[in-house]
Structure 1
Amino acid sequence: MPKQKFTLRFVTFLLVNLWCKQMVIMAKEIIPVGVVLDLNSTVGEIAESCISMAVSDFYAVNDDFKTRLALFTRDSRRDVVAATSSATSPTLSATRSKYFVRTAQDDSSQVKAIASIVQAYGWREIVPIYEDTEYGNGLVPFLLEAFQEIDTRVPYGSRIPLDFNDTQIMRELDKLKAMQKSIFLVHMSAFLGSRLFLLAKDAGMMSEGYAWIVTDGLSALLDPVGYELMDSMQGVLGVRPHIPPSKKLESFKSRWRKNFTTSKPQININELNLFGLWAYDTVWAIAMAVEKAGIVHSGYVKPNTSESTVDIAGLGKSEMGPRLLRSILSTRFQGLSGEFRLAGGEMVPSAFEIINVIGKAERVIGYWTPERGLSRNLYTRGKIAYSTSKNKLKEPIWPGDTTQQPRRLRIGVPLKTDDKPVVSGFTPDVFLSVVEALPFPLPYEFIPFVNKDKQSAGTYNDLLDQIQLKRFDAVVGDVTIIANRSLYVDFTLPYSESGIRMLVLTKRDERDNMWIFLKPLSLELWLTTAIAFILTGLVVWVLEHRENKVFRGKPGQQLGTTLWFSFSTLFFAHREKVVNNWTRFVLIIWIFVVLIISQSYTASLASMLTVKRLQPTFVDVKEIRKNGYFVGHQKNSFVKDFLVKELNFNASLLKEYDTPEEYHDALSTGIRNGGVAAIFAEIPYVKLFLAKHCSKFQMVGPTYKTDGFGFAFPLQSPLVPYVSRAILNVTQDKDKMEEIERRNFGRETTCLDQASMVTSGGLRLPSFGGLFIITGVASMSALLIYVTKFLYIHWPASNTVDQERPFYMRILELAKHFDKEDPSAHHLKRAGSSVHPVSSVEIVGASPNIDDAHGHSSTSIEGSGDIIVDQDHDNHTPGSGAANPEPPHTP
């Protein structure tokens, strides 16, 4: 009986306790919350369990709250509006409805992180593959804008509807493969994305040479997927929001794993995903906001009818909406997925982590933040500059289990007959310098253009055709830019000088003959010098004729004296004394000119007599063509067509050569022994040849202009402007180009000097033009001043002539007056003294006789010198002891 009483009391206590708890619960304000999930998807299953645990965990900690959330879950049955991924679509925005709040990160927030990855690896072309839904299409405009900012081209977009079967998806993949596309960005939900990668592996597109990037729609779901899908995604890069590690998160993961395994043992999922964590934090945020807002039971405004599946503005609203909205927007706390903070109805973007799928899991190779860009470590102290360098990331493993960066540029190179592709030398060195000058990394590989026998597979035109056939992404070699080639490829700016030159054999110049002394000066310089001598002599005659007896006499004697005086200045042997200061001025300038010309002549003649001289065997294309000589050209080059079509050579007289050794043998053999008269080649080839054989051969004739050597790319390739700008930077760097040329062509100083000697025809007039101008101006100035002074003084004398006589008669009278000796001049006084030998007998007893009136004097000198100095012209009387003065002259 006591036992029964105890049992009754215990049962009564339990009932009372349960009733009290029920009353407490009934006293709480129940807030109904609708939950829309796709319960047939992995995301929906995980989100449902996380939401349920969130409610339990929140009220276990906050049991004193006056409000309680009551969840009403609805299965969307794959309806797009209810899919979890749709909540991240940029088409859903708070700007369309102020009551829309997104607690998952907007898909567009990851676009800049994706663009930074593309920029870091230097991909100039990328193909987005996205599902044909509002979720998939909504991100495309943001991607296009971001890629445009980094100059990455999107040549094609692959849109795959949800109802595509495997055959249709495989057909689209084959199309991409045929288009030679290898860099892809996948933006899909897990349902379609998993099928895509399984089929891509079957299509051979998960092998070496391909690169795949996935958005967070797939990368956030990698943990719970099966082994088969993970195996098909090896080497894939992914971008997803970073979840900071915490003890709270690890504890929740452990509890969730036990709970999920117990409640749903039929589903083989062992790991959480990002959407589950967002759902958990969202429930906590709503619960906090509801309690903070003090919401009581309120009515519900009926929704407007809308055809759009994502028309948030058309959904119904609670009457307590404004208060609840303000409360939610102001809610901040540290959740499982990181800091919960809203701005403008959207989650504030956090850092993104960049993952690389390796084996059965993924490895974080770096992070991206709006402030720092790419970085290997997220939590780094100090201020770091924004970076888009791949060096800031860990080295990923790419599809095909390789560390080689995908989409290395497949560069076709020509093959020479020595079975060595042109991967070293002038052109590759320039290309390497250009790649270094690019603002982004450019991975590449050289692929020889060969056939099965490892021989050249064709001409340069055939090589360029491979770009159009999608077998090469570019061609690097000695490819000349010509018009017809630009119809199917895009060329960069030329990296070398352009033109075709003629290469010929040289022979010894037989200049050691009796007329070699005429060779140092060109014909025009000889003529100009002779004319200058004559004109200078005439100027001196005009200036000295009236005052200096040396330049007087019969006309023939005057002409001889004038020419002798002028030409004797060449050897500084002139003994005639001059009395006019203007003459001295002219002679100073003229003797300086003569000195320069004579010294230059001597040096040039000495060079001709001592240095071995060479001259080309042929200099005229017409001569070669007229005589029907054989000519050579570079093998597989457009030069053959140029010789036939432009220079009108007979095709049967053309021979192909490839190496410098073949050039040497063909020219050295000679035209009579089966060789060629000349070889036509592009200037870089001629330079390369002359670097080794400059002593026997010479580049002659005109330069036939071409547009030079350039790198070839597909039409409208986005790389062309970048490579062209890099070429400009390299070619304008003289030090770098000289180093490249010196490394490949050697030091050409000696050869260039010989070439200049061979082509020299002696000293030319332009080299001395300035000297002739100076002496001409000096002579004409002196002559003009003298004549002007003469006319000024003596023109009145012509007035004595009858004024009625013709003008020319007056001019003749003036000329006759000019020809007369100047009676007022004291000849030779200023020029010096005449010296006459005398005997000592004539000196004895002589006494000075000074005539002050006329200024005539004779002075005898006694001593060891047996001379008498006569300062009065020629008034010397032989045999007398003194000079007798001449009577004064009466005009």
Structure 2
Amino acid sequence: MEVTDDPNRGYLIDNVRYEGYAFDLIEEISKDLDFEYDFEIVPDKQYGVYDPVTKQWTGLFGRLMRREADLAVCDLTITKFRLSLVDFTTPFMNLGIKILFAKPQNEVPDLFSFLSPFSTDVWIYVATATLALSLSLFILARIAPTEWHSAHPCASDPEELENNFNLKNSLWLTLGSLMQQGSDILPVAPSIRMVTGMWWFFTLIMGSSYTANLAAFLTNVKMDASISNIDELAAQSKIKYGAIRGGSTAQFFEGSNDSKYQKMWQTMLEARPEVFTTTNKEGVERVAKGKRTYAFLMESTSLEYAVERNCNLMPVGSLLDNKGYGIAVPPNSPYRTLLSGAILKLQEKGTLRELQTKWWLKGSKNCTQGEPEPSSGELTMAHVGGVFLVLVLGCTGSFVIALCEFIWNVRKVAVEEKITPGEAFIAELKFTLNLWAETKPIKISRSSNASGSSASGGNGFTRAASAARSIVGSFLRLDTLGK
């Protein structure tokens, strides 16, 4: 890697300083074998491919085959094909092919996720059907003769009949059935019973469908494409996957005799847009930006290095093969045996493991330490917060309506009792705040003897039981006066 924070650290190559595992490895080997070295970077920065025009190999392999370098060290995997081009030392690091994929994002559940079992248009249709059926009940009840009955059952020859299915009661019946709570108002006429039965059947199906899907929508915020092993990756088509073009991973799939790997190789060749990359860094960036639509097949050591530095990435599955990194030397090089012996010594002393720990953990974000514990599936406030919000809004609305009823009743009492609205308001408010009162008098009366009665706020008014009449009482009295 390039050194940017210290002009004196690392190895100077073409006016740029570098450091990393490979530099330290050669330094340790040079101490054991007592030799000096100079590092060079291949101009095309490639492992090497065959050029049919020049009929020569490019990159590292080209330099070694032309003996322009004594050795090449990097994440160079030992393969059978590469052994036919150059020689390799004993592996200094073991690895295998693994899948790099993006972690699933922990999305915050929607506040109104309890509405998710039905789409918006279904909710609109349900609301429309509720209102339409309420209106139908109201009209049909006015048509049906048996829905009209005496207000006083004891009267044998009543002068007037009443109907329970007004607009409010009709809406209350449909809403109670929709919420599966029932209603204290039931139909008598056959036509009304038929309509109500059909509505009950409708609410049965809709309620069962909603309940069956509600748990899935609350616990699973979003189901996206995911994989857990190579078989699932090969079996699906939504997630694209690729590797470094011309690299050992691509050669593994290209030369494999396994039908599964042959199918995956053919899929990679036919994929559009291009799924192959030129470097591991490009593949890692594509996975990070792909939003779980792209997986990168790469060597496990490079994968571990990338995962330590990006907490949004994760390895998937087990190793597909077993191989190693080695130092490449020209064919029949006299240095191969000496370098292999030095690598074995470093391995026995534990130096190779120390170097890997040093460079793999350097710059690590310790992603595993900050990972939350797996969820046990319980619902949190983020899942059901919308239900509480609806409850709070409903309670708030009921208090607003109750306040309007209270003010309307104060006006009624003031008119009928011929007192000022302020006096009626104070009397009603005192009764409301008297939490121990269990009965409510009907009428506010003026005391005939001011000195013999207790004053109430200096207005000379008393309550029969310290209370004002309710709106229901007002209506009953008006009915009596009207008759």
Shared topology, TM-score over 0.5?
no
Indicate the structure whose relative CO is greater, using CA pairs within 8 Å and at least 6 residues apart. Answer: 2
* Normalised TM-score (structure 1): 0.23
Larger Rg computed on CA atoms: 1
* Normalised TM-score (structure 2): 0.41
